[in-house]
Structure 1
Amino acid sequence: MKYSFLIGLSLILWLSLFLSSYAQTQQAEGNSTRPWTYWWWMGSAVTEPDITYQLEQFARAGIGGVHIIPIYGVKGYEKQFIPFLTDRWLAVFAHTVREGKRLGLGVDLTTGTGWPFGGPHVSPDMAAKEWKINNDKLTSIPTKQQVKRPAPGGQGLVIDYFSKQAVEQYLQQFDSTLIRLPEKPRAVYNDSYEVYGANWTDNFLTEFQVRRGYDLNNQLAAFLDTTRTETSLLVHQDYHQTLAELLRDGFAKTWSDWAHKAGYRTRNQAHGSPGNLLDLYALADIPETESFGSSRFAIPGLRVDANYEVDRFGTPNPLAMKFASSTAHLMGKPLVSSETGTWLANHFQVSLSQIKPQVDELFASGINHIFYHGIPYSPQAETWPGWLFYASTNYGPTSHFWPHLPLLNHYIERCQARLQTSKPDNDVLVYFPIHDLWTTQAKSAGGIHQLEVHHVERWLLPQPFGQLCEQLSTRGYSIDYISDGLLSSLTASKQGIRSISGAIYQVILVPRTTYIPETSLRELAKLARQGAKIVFDGQLPQQAAGFYNHKARSEEVQRLGKSLQQLPTVTVSKGVFETMNRLGIRVELWAAEGLSFIRKSRGYGHPGYGHPQRTLSTDTTQYFITNLSNHFHQNWIALSATGQVNRYDPLTNQSQPLPIRKGSNGQNEVFLQIEPGQSYFVNVSPGNPVYANSASQKRIVDNSTAKSVTLRNPWQIQFVTGRPAMTLSTTIPVLTSWTTLSDSAGYFSGKARYTTTFDLPTGANASAYTIDLGDVREVAEVRLNGQPLGTAWCIPFRLSIPPNRLKPSGNQLDIAVKNLSANYMRLYDRQNPGWKKFYDINIVDIRYKPFDATHWEAMPSGLLGPVTLTPVGQ
């Protein structure tokens, strides 16, 4: 008994020490469940008091950390500029990290200023290169590209990302400065690959011969051939393969090794690079994707900036986002991040209701660590609108939505707390055949394939890989990607295909592929012999990748293919989805109705659980489901997981059980209501389902189709606070934009209060109601009969009215609505044009033209309605 007591005491002491250590680590690293933000230091003209003041604002608003990017400065503040990595700069950075620890905010840092890496320490021999023909030989010349948007002290040439020596030399400046500080950032950061025209390095020919087995100069005619002969295609595969390996080994590995030695994690945006994104992300501690522009969701009422040029900038795409999340799932990386909301709309025109669907798309794509893009450092003494970064969106204190940003922050925190503490539960690994891509015409500068997130139509969507992944996703399969390099990290057993993270997949799917390294087929054969299910779409690859000894190696590919076909777990399928069904691969059929989702598992079992063959009794299957279309509203749906089901609403922090019935095919079905724009977690926990009886099922359906009542009494509107000052108070018979009430109202940015009264319909017997505010521009704070009801800030603008809050007659409804700052900027930009005082690009609009708001039309503002009541629980 005494022995048991001592063991118990030891466990308590150990647990308390662990929790204390964990709390200190969390404080030092910030709160990753909260959204973080890019924090641009303009000219690094920062002071300790202003740093503290702004960090305190961020912490109060629910932000979990900052990512410092020193950039160009503000005119008139030249004397306050602090050159990068000087003693004074290191002092203010150390102050930032100390204050971050005090406030529970993490700090990340770009390893440089602006982007890409480069600066005054980069000599011409370290700088980015391109190839040139000289005397019938391939030679190296500098691209002369300069760092984009550099901060004072950061101007200079861009480094050669393919050169290990150049990267090591570049990082030496941090060894003598940053690393010596006792205060360290959580992570260092590399932005998306934007080294334009760089396609060479000084020792490329030597590396090529070592890695590919022949002298590229001996195949110069094929390398320069534009008629796309077979030899030319194979040589270009080898050329791209070498670039990819040099980028991986020369930059990504070198940078990561340096960071780990210094005690930093790495955040890397691999996209845009001429390498295999999966292999590059695998070397980062936190892989990071990007959401640039708006996704054009078919959500009723969701505004899209008509001036955004899709052809020029592209739109976000979940298939591109999955390159980062797939690697995180495979490699066991707990965090996978995204630059979020860049150029979502023009300056002063972005609403919270536009941000949330973009965040939901990221969550459904496997992202669990949101970084706002972003907040410019702006001194307290600076008048509105403060210092601004050229690329919208501004999430900072001078933004019109700052008072309500905590609502979005809390929503994200609740989601990420669940997404970060759950394990991937995907069944399908899709092989990424990059060698087939390398045989297509490159559309980027320098004649190379740059795998960017902006224009997936240039490289991803046209390929059989992209087309198949689109079909898999829309049909409801849960997928991740696998590269040639990561195949060797997999093992297989009766349970399935296990990655080094412990995630378990049920099948490897190889899209229609022409070229494949024979080493990859050997890895697939090894897995198949261990019991892995492997499906080839339509055909087996017939050719080896690369020029060297191509005929003999292709014969080996064909031999391996024939031997693979003899294995019982390998299928060459002319109907992939029929084959997947035969193999019992799970599919969420309801996804075909326009719902996006990610399925994960939470519990104490080993990673990869969630499949019936590997679910432990303590495991819960977790779905994050978001409706980013206008097709689904409510219906009975069959989840692939079975058990007791509840729905968690991260918007309200409320949970409720979902009704279950037996479907016509014997499957369990749950009744899910999810309107366009809404998102929920649906959790399936172990236990016997509790079925709704026939009467309950009828009541559920009746409630879902209950008729709404429109409030038709006149509304009193009174302007409360804002710019310019307004004292207008009037009564309107029907709801309309307040910009129509007077000329001056078209310039007003601020808050107006709407008031009306209403009676319940005769004979109403509902226990509770939902109020739908219709079209809100932009955020509505609602009070009912003198009591706060909540704040509606995202589509649909709905709030629940608890039981007994309504009276049969004489109900009073007060709605305070805050609009955008765009209308006031129409006036301010005319009266105070001097606010646009930034170096480099200064301020531009969404088309990258000089910013001018004076010609804008007034944007609709206020409560546009209609406002309706819907009974619940009759």
Structure 2
Amino acid sequence: MRPILLFLLLLKCTLLSAQDISTAKPWTFWWWMGSAVNKADITKQLEYFAKSGIGGVHIIPIYGVKGYESQSISFLSKEWLEVMGHTVREGKRLGVGVDMTTGTGWPFGGPNVSVESAAKNMTVQNNKLVVTPTKQKVKRAAPGGDGFVLDPFNASAMDKYLSRFDSAFATIKDLPRSMYNDSYEAYGANWTDDFAEQFKKRRGYDLEQNLTLLADSTNKADGVLVRIDYHQTIAELLLERYALPWTKWSTAHGFLTRYQAHGSPGNLLDLYEAADIPETESFGTSRFPIPGLRVDPDYSIDQFGTPNVLAMKFASSAANFSGKKLVSSETGTWLANHFKVSLSQIKPQIDELFTAGINHIFYHGSTYSPENEPYPGWLFYASTNFGKSSHFAEHFSILNEYVEWCQKLLQNSKPDNDVLVYFPVHDLWSMPAKSSGNVHLLEVHHVDRWLLDLPFGKLTQWLWKEGYAFDYVSDLQLTKLKIDKNGDLNSGSTSYKTLLIPASTYMPEETLAQLKRLAAAGAKIVFEKQLPLKVTGYAEHTNRQNEFLTELENLRGASNVRVSNDLEKDLKANGVIAEELSKKGLTFIRKKNERGVLYFVANLGNTFKEGWVRIGKSEMVSRNRPLRGTSLMYGRTTKDGYEEVFLSLPPGESCFLQSGDGSEYAYKDIKKKKYPVVGEWSLSFLKGRPSLPAPSKSTELKSWTTLPDSASYFSGTARYTIKFDVPASLLKNGSCKLDLGDVREVASVKLNGKDIGVAWHIPFQLSIGNLRLKDNILEIEVTNLSANYMRLRDQQKPDWKKFYDINIVDITYKKFDASKWEPMPSGLLGPVTLIYD
């Protein structure tokens, strides 16, 4: 038996190790258009993903392609399951994981959803309930996936829906790692058949006898209480009848679950926590003030909003609280228009996700396309294209190497947040809803509609800006907290020094009871400015309100409970640290590992370049720069006893700071010098579409689109070459940096015949060390976007736009037409300089 047990133990360790490697790498959404796929092309595309450093794919069957109807495969048919199984088997061979959506398109629904179990809408008309089907069907459905959206509040709808998958998977051995549930998007759904019965059972009174209050739009006190009760019931049913049955079914079948809970009317923290891998979403651009960072001018903030780290933290907070290792994100959706996204635009968005606690990136995304399909192949309607036909495909592995390097450290460390911020969702529910169905949909797009203007939103914005490390906690999650031997709040997985309650108006009596329990056990609790004012619940409200106020006053009397008008002072008294990194204009996440405290720091602004920074939770530290190695840092102790490090981190850069590895060094403030690389530049075009423009020479660096011939339509790679001398004083330094200035978009660099690296993100700088006094030869190969070629392609042959449903649209969701675009600046725009001490 011993050899067998040893073998099984080694096998388990090997599998765990392989899983760790694959999850550290970024994964990608993989749209199967019409599921018109074949095994040979699946293998070739998986080989491309593996070679590029992709750790896994997420299969999403979607609408089809005109002319390929006969090759489309019906979802969950025998043939579909066979190509899915082939994908899993080939993924295992190549080290590429596989996830799949529990359905096609979004949200859940399909051919086995009857009218009775489909989503329903309720309105109050003439003081009577009027219930009608929403008639919403699955959005972007694939063949075999069309049908009604299921009722997310129905007691049996989810089980009936999943029965289709039970039958399909019954005899299948090669199954994906994880099931996926996309963002809510059940528009107008706000009722189910037994809602009135459930409401009376849970809230203690008859909703149908109080429809006037439910429909009240004047914010009468009683009407607000009924509105809160209604939303509370919606939230409970969504968790109990939608999220939990799906995750329970997935677990029983051996799947992990990835869940985009956002967009729903429930408490996001409870819904995210139900999944093995909570998943947020980064849609659009965050408008970072990084010098040189390009933002697509056509992107509409009014229409789509912008990514917001406070919304992202709902997913990571749920994971941190419950001890889940992985937190994922749909990443790069509509970062810019089609054919216009650069690697330098992607990196800051990923860095923002890392600082929000995300550690399992899913690109949005890649499209299956037949290998013999002419350029640009099959494309999904929503940019960004991370697939084989992308203009950055040749350099894609560099971005993936960066993500893997970071995610290894982030996944193998634990959260180190001091503050647990209570999310007073009842205050949100007390306000009139701005979404369809008159319910609050907590979306990641327009956080201004539900998050930022709440006291909770204003408080968390202040915490983020001031450098506090925090997570969120729900009413339900409070029941899981205990106090550890250090007097800290402990969720069973994570510890916090303080529970912070925003200046809220409404609070359930059950939540107050949990606060009393925790306070009695020694928890440090801080109320911002005030105690809650009103208990939730319309039933017997007057009596319960009086008791609520009495219990609140009793809680206020505890020595470890404070009502604070000076949060900075009171948080500090509880041992909470405000990191100076934020006040310097840097963004960070603080974690801990076996070596001590770990910081990931990103410069997503334009207020810091280098300087002394106080690190709150460590002694001397070392700096790990992703893809550039580890270096010791200059450290010193200030007169008031604080430890500081000298950090050089220009806008656009990122690094890790690790405690316990540094030593104190003498630091000399040496002003950096710049030496311009000037002379005659030779430009030759190497490869690309539609044809190679003629070579040229110039002493001035400017966009190659200004050249004659076909250069304004050229998309591909060109080489810049220059010969130059340097002063002797520069060589005394031994090494220096090459700053390429403005690069459109990626530059592979050689100096004196030696490869010195690829500059792919802001700042476009590389370290060099093989300079000579005379006749240095610098060769820079620059690859631009595919947008300029598509300007011509859409004039001549727009036949590639042949997809069903929404086909291809631009970033404003209008019919896509690149023929009217202006040329995108391309090439090496400079100035090129050498930076040295």
| 1:817 corresponds to which of 777, 782, 788 | 782
Query: What amino acid is the match of 1:637?
Result: V
| 1:772 corresponds to which of 739, 743, 758 | 739
2:636 match:
661
Contact 2:650 2:763 in 1 (8 A): yes
1:593-620: CA deviations, max 9, x gaps? Answer: 22110000001xxxxxxxxxxxxxxx41
Task: Report how far residue 161 of structure 1 moved.
Answer: 0.7
Return the alpha-carbon distance in structure 2 between the equivalents of residues 512 and 132 of structure 1. Answer: 32
Query: What amino acid is the match of 1:631?
Result: T
CA RMSD of aligned residues (A): 1.5
1:643 match:
619
Task: Report how far residue 134 of structure 1 moved.
Answer: 6.7
Task: Report how far residue 727 of structure 1 moved.
Answer: 4.4
1:827 match:
792
Task: Report how far residue 750 of structure 1 moved.
Answer: 0.5
Return the alpha-carbon distance in structure 2 between the equivalents of residues 100 and 733 of structure 1. Answer: 50
Query: What amino acid is the match of 1:104?
Result: G
DSSP 3-state at the match of 1:854: helix
Contact 2:693 2:711 in 1 (8 A): no
| 1:796 corresponds to which of 763, 767, 771 | 763
Task: Report how far residue 709 of structure 1 moved.
Answer: 1.2
Query: What amino acid is the match of 2:610?
Result: Q
2:667 match:
697
Task: Report how far residue 219 of structure 1 moved.
Answer: 0.9
2:516 match:
525
| Structure 2 counterparts to residues 282-361 of structure 1, below 5 A | 282-361=273-352
| 2:657 corresponds to which of 652, 676, 682 | 682
| 1:597 corresponds to which of 558, 570, 588 | 588
| 1:730 corresponds to which of 676, 696, 699 | 696
1:836 aligns with 2:801: yes
CA distance change for structure 1 residues 19 and 672 in 2, over 3 Å: closer, same or farther?
Answer: farther
Return the alpha-carbon distance in structure 2 between the equivalents of residues 634 and 19 of structure 1. Answer: 47
Gaps spanning 5+ residues in structure 2: where? Answer: none
CA distance change for structure 1 residues 14 and 591 in 2, over 3 Å: closer, same or farther?
Answer: farther
| Structure 2 counterparts to residues 65-464 of structure 1, below 5 A | 65-133=56-124, 136-464=127-455
Return the alpha-carbon distance in structure 2 between the equivalents of residues 627 and 800 of structure 1. Answer: 19
Query: What amino acid is the match of 1:739?
Result: T
1:627 aligns with 2:603: yes
Query: What amino acid is the match of 2:664?
Result: Y
Query: What amino acid is the match of 2:341?
Result: V
1:749 match:
715
Return the alpha-carbon distance in structure 1 between the equivalents of residues 720 and 492 of structure 2. Answer: 54
- Percent identical across equivalent pairs? 54
Task: Report how far residue 763 of structure 1 moved.
Answer: 2.8
Query: What amino acid is the match of 2:188?
Result: G
Task: Report how far residue 583 of structure 1 moved.
Answer: 2.6
1:714 match:
680
1:784 aligns with 2:748: no
1:566-609: CA deviations, max 9, x gaps? Answer: 21110001111221123331110231122110000001xxxxxx
Task: Report how far residue 637 of structure 1 moved.
Answer: 0.8
Task: Report how far residue 340 of structure 1 moved.
Answer: 0.1
DSSP 3-state at the match of 1:22: helix
1:697-754: CA deviations, max 9, x gaps? Answer: 22xx21xx31211112121111111112214111111110011111510000001100
Task: Report how far residue 15 of structure 1 moved.
Answer: 7.9
Query: What amino acid is the match of 2:450?
Result: W
1:485 aligns with 2:460: no
1:42 match:
33
1:332-355: CA deviations, max 9, x gaps? Answer: 010000000000000000000000
Return the alpha-carbon distance in structure 2 between the equivalents of residues 771 and 475 of structure 1. Answer: 35
Return the alpha-carbon distance in structure 2 between the equivalents of residues 177 and 489 of structure 1. Answer: 37
1:615 match:
none
Contact 1:720 1:727 in 2 (8 A): no
1:858 aligns with 2:795: no
Gaps spanning 5+ residues in structure 1: where? Answer: 1-9, 604-618
Query: What amino acid is the match of 1:595?
Result: L
1:357-403: CA deviations, max 9, x gaps? Answer: 00000000000000000001001010100000000000001000011
Give the structure-1-normalised TM-score. 0.94
Contact 1:277 1:323 in 2 (8 A): yes
Return the alpha-carbon distance in structure 2 between the equivalents of residues 599 and 311 of structure 1. Answer: 33
1:52-84: CA deviations, max 9, x gaps? Answer: 111111111100000000000000000001011
Task: Report how far residue 178 of structure 1 moved.
Answer: 2.3
Return the alpha-carbon distance in structure 1 between the equivalents of residues 803 and 603 of structure 2. Answer: 40
Return the alpha-carbon distance in structure 2 between the equivalents of residues 649 and 15 of structure 1. Answer: 39
* Larger displacement relative to structure 2 (422-431 or 589-598): 589-598
DSSP 3-state at the match of 2:212: helix
DSSP 3-state at the match of 1:132: strand
Return the alpha-carbon distance in structure 2 between the equivalents of residues 28 and 544 of structure 1. Answer: 47
Contact 1:331 1:499 in 2 (8 A): no
Return the alpha-carbon distance in structure 2 between the equivalents of residues 749 and 62 of structure 1. Answer: 24
CA distance change for structure 1 residues 179 and 190 in 2, over 3 Å: closer, same or farther?
Answer: farther
Contact 1:425 1:600 in 2 (8 A): yes
Return the alpha-carbon distance in structure 2 between the equivalents of residues 670 and 272 of structure 1. Answer: 42
2:706 match:
740
Task: Report how far residue 140 of structure 1 moved.
Answer: 2.6
Task: Report how far residue 462 of structure 1 moved.
Answer: 0.3
1:6 match:
none
Query: What amino acid is the match of 2:596?
Result: T
Task: Report how far residue 455 of structure 1 moved.
Answer: 0.2
2:49 match:
58
Query: What amino acid is the match of 2:645?
Result: V
Return the alpha-carbon distance in structure 1 between the equivalents of residues 575 and 366 of structure 2. Answer: 48
CA distance change for structure 1 residues 29 and 209 in 2, over 3 Å: closer, same or farther?
Answer: farther
1:261-294: CA deviations, max 9, x gaps? Answer: 1111111000000010001011000000000000
Contact 2:369 2:378 in 1 (8 A): yes
Query: What amino acid is the match of 2:750?
Result: R
Return the alpha-carbon distance in structure 2 between the equivalents of residues 90 and 411 of structure 1. Answer: 34
Task: Report how far residue 19 of structure 1 moved.
Answer: 4.5
DSSP 3-state at the match of 1:844: coil
Query: What amino acid is the match of 1:738?
Result: W
* Larger displacement relative to structure 2 (635-644 or 591-600): 635-644
1:141-192: CA deviations, max 9, x gaps? Answer: 2000011000001111100011130111111000100243111111101100
CA distance change for structure 1 residues 164 and 743 in 2, over 3 Å: closer, same or farther?
Answer: farther
CA distance change for structure 1 residues 237 and 53 in 2, over 3 Å: closer, same or farther?
Answer: same
Return the alpha-carbon distance in structure 1 between the equivalents of residues 582 and 491 of structure 2. Answer: 29
Return the alpha-carbon distance in structure 2 between the equivalents of residues 122 and 645 of structure 1. Answer: 57
Task: Report how far residue 557 of structure 1 moved.
Answer: 2.0
